[in-house]
Amino acid sequence: MSTLSGPIRAKGYWHINVRPAEYLGGRVTYSSLRSILDRCVVQLRGWDFPHIDRRGGDQRGNTWIGGQTDWDQYKEAWRFYQSGQFVYQLGIHEDWIGGTFPPNRLTPGVAGIGVGDVLFRITETYEFASRLSVTEAGGDEMHIAIDIRNLVGRRLYVDDINRMPMDHDYSFSEPALHWKVTVSRAALAGTSRDLAVDAASEVFARFGWHPPRAMLLEQQSQLRWPK
């Protein structure tokens, strides 16, 4: 997908696909792609989703625009197509900062993925899908597919230093975890946050962890929602 895709795929990474459920190859004009994407950018924490590098480095194909970011632990590549499909690859941060993060939350040498980052990433994905659905690139129904790859043996850990660490080891035993759903524009507009918590709960369950829903909602509320 970009020159950064190979290094991203060599370690743990997210592969996120958001698109209208009905395929229309020329759903939007090529010249409108960037302005549509700009309207859909989600800024709920310190790093936007998707991150569009304003310093340049844009990529362009016959039916898509793309970009990438290579900065510290942020390894990301994206493409946005005239069909309304958005594809995003993001490296798992812990694999790019050396050792565990934050300190003392995992045994040295054990690959981890933070539960807060998982919840927030999925919430950002659903919020992005909601915003995309109401643009000319959206549809009455939106398909959301979230893969987390290179996961064999990777463990969940609590990445908020103000919360207690895990009381057990919660790990995944296959190379990739898959979650996909088709949801209506109306549902995304009214309940995207709740739907994201449902999806995060399903992801956590595949690691063997079943947190109370109220706890996930409370943590999700820490995001900086627009007024």
Is residue 99, in this structure, part of any structural domain at all?
yes
Q: Looking at 6-10, 137-141, 157-161, which range is the least confident one?
A: 157-161
Is residue 1, in this structure, part of any structural domain at all?
no
What is the gyration radius of the CA atoms in the chain, in angstroms? Answer: 17
> How many percent of the chain have pLDDT more than 90?
77
Q: What number of other Cβ atoms are within 10 A of residue 137's Cβ?
A: 25
pLDDT in tens, 55-68: 766 899 999 999 99
Residue 227: pLDDT band with limits 50, 70, 90: low
pLDDT in tens, 5-51: 999 999 999 999 999 999 999 999 999 999 999 999 999 998 999 99
Residue pair 141/22 in contact by the 8 Å Cβ criterion: yes
Residue 100: pLDDT band with limits 50, 70, 90: very low
Q: Is the pLDDT reported for residue 146 higher than 60?
A: yes
Is residue 154, in this structure, part of any structural domain at all?
yes
Q: Which two tokens stand for residue 103?
A: 């300190």
Q: Is the pLDDT reported for residue 70 higher than 70?
A: yes
Q: What is the pLDDT of residue 49?
A: 96
Is residue 226, in this structure, part of any structural domain at all?
no
Q: What number of other Cβ atoms are within 10 A of residue 18's Cβ?
A: 25
Domain that holds residue 64: 10-220
Is residue 71, in this structure, part of any structural domain at all?
yes
Task: Name the β-bridge partners of 59.
Answer: 66
Provide the 3-class DSSP secondary structure of residue 87: strand
Q: What is the pLDDT of residue 56?
A: 67
Q: Any long-range contacts for 106-114 (C-beta under 8 Å, 24+ apart)?
A: 106/155, 106/157, 110/153, 110/155, 111/12, 111/153, 111/154, 111/155, 112/154, 112/155, 112/156, 112/157, 113/12, 113/148, 113/151, 113/154, 113/155, 113/156, 113/157, 114/156, 114/157, 114/158, 114/159
Q: pTM for this one?
A: 0.94
Q: What is the pLDDT of residue 105?
A: 65
The residue-averaged pLDDT of 85-95 equals 95
Q: What is the pLDDT of residue 57?
A: 67
Burial class of residue 225 (count of CB atoms within 10 Å of its CB; 0-12, 13-18, 19+): exposed
Is residue 227, in this structure, part of any structural domain at all?
no
Q: What is the amino acid identity at position 149? A: R
What is the DSSP secondary-structure string of 30-64? Answer: GGGHHHHHHHH-B-SSSS-BS---TTS--EE-SSE
What is the separation of C-alpha 11 from the centre of its chain, rounded to a whole number of angstroms? 16
Provide the 3-class DSSP secondary structure of residue 132: helix
Q: What is the pLDDT of residue 106?
A: 67
Q: What is the pLDDT of residue 16?
A: 98
How many distinct structural domains can be found in the chain?
1
Is residue 115, in this structure, part of any structural domain at all?
yes
Is residue 2, in this structure, part of any structural domain at all?
no
